[in-house]
Amino acid sequence: MRVLVTGGAGYIGSHIVKALLQKGHYPIVLDNLSKGHAEAVLGGELIRGDLGDPGLVQRIMEAGEVEAVIHMAADSLVGESVENPGKYFRNNVGNTLVLLNAMAASGVKNLVFSSTAAVYGEPCTSPIEETHPTCPTNPYGTSKLMVEMMLPWYERAFGLRFISLRYFNAAGADPDGELGEDHRPETHLIPNVLQAALTGRTVEIYGADYPTPDGTCIRDYIHVADLSLAHLLALEALVAGQPSATYNLGNGRGFSVHEVIRTAEEVTGGKIQVRIGPRRPGDPAVLVASAEKISAELGWHPLYPDLHRIIATAWHWQKNHPDGYL
């Protein structure tokens, strides 16, 4: 199948492109390379361009004979979204509108949308099920929820079916060692901790006064290869005619920042220097998924649910690529 992957040169997108190639699909990647890396696109076609350009997107849809879309292109930093909400509404909502209009105009009817646990905001139950109320506490989560709310209207008007995947914390690296996480600047916990292990730098813990057993935030870390697998299953389900749906993607188990650091020390065999800093705006205390719905309906079962293994794959990449893709 010919699949347009927006943001396919990014961390998660590049792993999905690899999974598509392994299944014999043809990925057409649209990425402005503002954060992605051309070297991370292991096959198919890479078009460097802006999703906000309606003419370009329409041309790709038609000339590329696109049959389905995996839409990953987005800004995704909670803290930045609080500082600069306009960027998030323009890039995450406005550009998605361009994509949806091009899909409607070209009759492309299958969309896998990359959503987020941030749509839930501060949860009132844990683990979080898909029926939990959505009440984002930052513009990033709001921008993704706005897209989720647009999708059923495009289905009604144009027959566009979708699967929205609400990711919890994507982590780890390609188990074959070909791909990994390379953000500039890096803001995520696991790569920051591993870079600290390599360089002796100090990791800042964003708040140790949360209402959790050790005072640090708890997150559900999911291996990027398991996320990729879910996208493939979603794509196949849509093409087979499954109705539109929204699913959580996590392992159903949470780990605190302290626990992640301890596990990273086991994996790397060294002591990691930490210092406690202030809370980061927009961070809920605990985010843990119930992924029972996607397991039951799409048969998704994670291959790498173990935190030690997740961090070990990230460490393997980090050690072999201390300068990322450079």
Binding mask 16-35 for ligand UDP (x = CB under 6 A): --------------------
The identity of residue 117, as a single letter, is A
Nearer to ligand UDP, 110 or 290 (CB): 290
The count of chain residues that interact with ligand UDP, using the rule CB under 6 A, is 15
What 3-state class would DSSP assign to 247?
strand
- Give the nearest distance from C-beta 198 to ligand UDP in angstroms: 15
Nearer to ligand UDP, 86 or 277 (CB): 277
List CB contacts of 241: < 8 A, sequence separation 6 or more.
none
Q: Site for ligand UDP (CB under 6 A): which residue of 155, 204, 292, 297?
A: 204
Interactions with ligand UDP, residue window 92-151 (CB under 6 A) = none
Q: Which residues pair with 45 in a beta bridge?
A: 28
- Give the nearest distance from C-beta 126 to ligand UDP in angstroms: 15
Q: Tell whether residue 81 is a contact of ligand UDP (CB under 6 A).
A: no
Active site residue 26: no
In whole angstroms, give the CA distance from residue 273 to residue 259. Answer: 14
Nearer to ligand UDP, 237 or 291 (CB): 291
Binding mask 164-203 for ligand UDP (x = CB under 6 A): -----x-----------------xxx--x----------x
CA dihedral 286, 287, 288, 292 (to 10 degrees): 150
- Give the nearest distance from C-beta 214 to ligand UDP in angstroms: 12
Nearer to ligand UDP, 15 or 25 (CB): 15
Which contiguous run of DSSP H or E holds residue 80?
helix 78-83
Which contiguous run of DSSP H or E holds residue 248?
strand 245-249
Nearer to ligand UDP, 44 or 302 (CB): 302
Structure tokens at 1: 């199948």
Q: Can you list the pairs that 262-269 forms with residues at least 24 positions away whose Cβ atoms lie under 8 Å?
A: 263/307, 263/308, 263/311, 264/190, 264/193, 264/194, 264/197, 264/311, 264/315, 265/197, 266/308, 267/308, 267/311, 267/312, 267/315, 268/194, 268/197, 268/315
Marked catalytic residue, from 11, 88, 120, 140: 140
In whole angstroms, give the CA distance from residue 314 to residue 171. Answer: 7
- Give the nearest distance from C-beta 181 to ligand UDP in angstroms: 10
Q: Tell whether residue 246 is a contact of ligand UDP (CB under 6 A).
A: no
Q: Tell whether residue 206 is a contact of ligand UDP (CB under 6 A).
A: yes
Nearer to ligand UDP, 64 or 123 (CB): 123
b/e 107-130 (16+ beta carbons within 10 angstroms → b)? ebbbbbbbbbbbbbbebeebbbeb
Helical packing angle, 95-106 and 54-63, nearest 10°: 40
Q: Tell whether residue 217 is a contact of ligand UDP (CB under 6 A).
A: yes
- Give the nearest distance from C-beta 12 to ligand UDP in angstroms: 12
Q: Give me the active site residues, please.
A: 140
Residues found near ligand UDP in the complex (CB under 6 A): 78, 169, 187-189, 192, 203-206, 217, 219, 257, 280, 283
